[in-house]
Amino acid sequence: MGETDNRYHREIIRPATLKLLNPQSGEQIHDVACGNGNFSRFMSRSGVKVTALDYSSKMIEFAKERCKEQLDMIDFHVADATKFDELIKLKADKPFDKAVSNMAVMDIVDVEPLFRAVNDMLAPGGIFVFSGVHPCFQTPNMLKIIELSDYTCDTCDNYLRLRIQTYEYIQPKMHEVTALSQNGKRVLHFHRPLSMIMDICFKSGFVLDGMEEPVFAKPDNAVEFDWYEIPPSIILRIKKLIR
Ligand SMILES: C[S@@+](CC[C@H](N)C(=O)[O-])C[C@H]1O[C@@H](n2cnc3c(N)ncnc32)[C@H](O)[C@@H]1O
């Protein structure tokens, strides 16, 4: 993500997350699995007080380094989102107004403690906006398919058709993926069907309150696969029920 984040974050994740989260100056927002802190930094610049966590101490070191100008606005912690007790320790005197977690649910081996803890730490009616790879389309072993007509053929229409073939949707599954095509490193993802993710949210005391499925703008000269018509990520907003 570096200093200036990446295209995926800028064009897919950030606009949809901002639309659903609508962070406001003076709010106290919890950033779960904050990575190098790019979104915490972004929110803090508009006056948001951020409590951010990641289980990687190395990532938190990078985050503190990259956010050294904003450390009066951001509290960074090393904490494991699979451990309810570790999360709940981050509870401040006053409940959080909102919580956010960008592109991390599919990286977390067990998300049930996280949703329960976030619910516990939010003010009544507080929202949690989270994103991950789209579980309907980026399924384990899915294939990206490019159909390109032969432009030398004068009887066929010129077209580029981008498809995907999905497999293995309904069962939760751990699988290996290349997270960033630029560096080719393999990471583990924990695929969960949408119904399972929503069930965890509902059982933790949330209702579904908003949803975005952004895609990239398609250039006229597109010749390669990209996510123009099929959303690569889903961004969900859930709201704490007032009991
Ligand atoms: C794809 S990165 C996203 C980082 C950041 N939210 C962003 O958008 O740049 C996923 C992050 O989840 C963190 N992570 C994975 N499992 C975790 C866990 N159990 N507890 C806390 N953080 C975790 C990783 O260390 C990594 O920083």
Find the CATH number of the domain harbouring 100.
Answer: 3.40.50.150
Residue 2 falls within a domain, yes or no? no
Residue 84 falls within a domain, yes or no? yes
- Look at ligand 1, atom 9, and give the residue with the nearest C-alpha: 35
Cβ contacts of 33 within 8 Å, gap of 6 or more: 53, 54, 55, 81, 101, 102, 104, 107, 108
Is the shortest distance between the CB of 236 and ligand 1 below 6 Å? no
Residue 157 falls within a domain, yes or no? no
49-104 pLDDT per residue, tens: 999 999 999 999 999 999 999 999 999 999 999 999 999 999 888 899 999 999 99
Which pLDDT belongs to residue 113?
98
CA of 167 to the centre of ligand 1 (A): 25
Query: Which atom of ligand 1 is found nearest the CA of 1?
Result: 9
Residue 69 falls within a domain, yes or no? yes
Name the least confident of 36-40, 86-90, 96-100, 147-151.
147-151
- Look at ligand 1, atom 27, and give the residue with the nearest C-alpha: 35
Does residue 15 surpass a pLDDT of 80?
yes
Residue 139 falls within a domain, yes or no? no
Q: Which two tokens stand for residue 233?
A: 């990520």
Print the domain residue range for 91: 7-134+193-224+231-240
Which pLDDT belongs to residue 2?
72
Q: Provide the number of structural domains found in the chain.
A: 1
The answer to whether 170 and 193 are in contact (CB under 8 A) is yes
- Among 21, 74, 103, the mutation site with the greatest number of ligand 1 atoms within 8 A of its Cβ is 103
Average pLDDT (168-179) is 94
Question: pTM for this structure?
Answer: 0.95
Is the shortest distance between the CB of 52 and ligand 1 below 6 Å? no
Residue 186 falls within a domain, yes or no? no
Is the shortest distance between the CB of 5 and ligand 1 below 6 Å? no
CA of 129 to the centre of ligand 1 (A): 15
Is the shortest distance between the CB of 121 and ligand 1 below 6 Å? no
Specify the DSSP element, H or E, that contains 118. helix 112-121
Residue 175 falls within a domain, yes or no? no
CA of 161 to the centre of ligand 1 (A): 34
Is the shortest distance between the CB of 55 and ligand 1 below 6 Å? yes
- For residue 55, the one-letter residue type is Y
Q: What is the DSSP string of 12-45?
A: IIHHHHHHHH---TT-EEEEES-TTSHHHHHHHT
How buried is 227 (Cβ within 10 angstroms: 0-12 exposed, 13-18 middle, 19+ buried)?
Answer: buried
Residue 94 falls within a domain, yes or no? yes
How far apart CA 178 and CA 24 sit, in angstroms, is 35
